[in-house]
Amino acid sequence: MAHQESIKREVDQSPLEAIKACMKERGLNPRDLIPYIGSQSGVYQILLGKRGLSMPMARALHKHLGISAESLLREPVPGPMPSNESTDGMRWDRFPLKVMVKRGWIPDGPNLAGRSEELLRGLIDRAQGGNAPALYRKNDQGRINAKVDPYALKAWCWQVMATANERLPVANYEPGVVTLDFLNQVAQLSRLGDGPRHAKDLLEEHGIPLVILPHLPRTYLDGAALRLQDGRPVIGLTLRYDRIDNFWFCLLHELAHVGRHLNGSESDAFIDDLTLRKSDGRPEDPREAQADEWAEEALIPSEVWEATDMRNSPTAIGLLSLANELKIHPAIIAGRIRFERKNYRLLSQFVGAGQIRRQFDAPNSDSKW
């Protein structure tokens, strides 16, 4: 009798329920389904209920994983499309469609404005619904330039998430892995000539995609910490300022958001124009200051920084000596001095201008991606 009830439960399952039950029983992750589904993005679309199984997929899952054919061939129960965003009142034709086409984010064709909703919904679908609360509500406390084009900002964030979904790391993300010690580990990779590439690899080993995507016009954007619908964090960087010091502070600032803020339910995104950092008279979300604090501490511990003469009397020898002591790139110390003094002509030979984009084969913002 118990065996008959087990068979009945299995047959009564929807295709998605049967697949998830098999994954749980066998300890599989989404990556393990790629041989049967055909692509990583396809796996996630199916697991999110956004597309159905083809007959070849059903046959492969039945043959290799032993999932009931009856369950795999059942018609799925219709349900609402998963999405965190209301698109009511969206002016689809206000997106920077021509630039997006040029970069390959959406397909080209006649009458772009007339097809704008179709094209953008396709991008939203790839991004798995977006992160509406953080991306769409005006945030007077955040580091978002008052002149920002909200439609361009939406498009950039969607494309970051779409890119992350298409290139998800093999490793799963474990909440709590990003600590101040983890940030310090990342910071010490700056010593290496190809440190940014090593940082990307390290993040992927912990299930965190790092997406390098040039900013769109009128976004005034350095980076963002976003979250996919399955809870996995994504870091997007624009490399707006192609300098070593800027790269490492931006990366660690966004990582700090992941470690301190993104694991909770209070926000799904942090968008940062770091030129607004510590702007006089500008009210600011305290979480931005907290992210700054972790980034600064991981790069140059406050105890060391307060004791060094470099703050007031910077010299090339002193800068190199301190960098060697802290096991970080000298550009990071030079950048800290320049920022605190608000003198960006100082120590310019040490900040590593033009050294980052080429490591990621990243174009300028006006080039095609």
Give Cα 206 to chain centroid, integer Å: 13
Structure-block tokens of residue 270: 């942090």
Of the candidates 70, 69, 121, 63, the one whose C-alpha atom is nearest the C-alpha of residue 92 is 121
pTM: 0.74
Architecture of the domain whose range is 2-72: Orthogonal Bundle (1.10)
For the chain, give every residue range classified as CATH 1.10.260. Answer: 2-72
Q: Contact 307/289 with Cβ under 8 angstroms?
A: no
**In terms of DSSP bridges, do strands 210-212 and 233-237 run parallel, antiparallel, or are they unpaired?**
parallel
**DSSP symbols for 259-283:** IIIITSSS-SEEEE-GGGTT-TT--
Per-residue pLDDT of the chain (369 residues; tens, 9 = 90+): 433 334 344 456 788 888 888 988 888 888 888 888 877 667 777 876 667 788 888 888 988 889 988 888 775 543 333 334 455 578 899 999 999 999 999 999 899 999 999 999 899 988 874 443 334 344 444 688 889 999 999 999 999 999 999 889 999 999 999 999 999 999 999 999 999 999 999 999 999 999 999 999 999 999 999 998 888 999 999 999 999 999 999 999 999 999 999 875 546 789 999 999 877 666 678 899 999 999 999 999 999 999 998 888 999 999 999 999 999 999 999 999 999 999 999 999 999 999 999 999 866 554 443
Task: Identify the pLDDT of residue 12.
Answer: 60
Please tell me the distance from the alpha carbon of residue 96 to that of residue 100, in angstroms, as a whole number. 6
* Rounded Cα distance, 142 and 135, in Å: 11
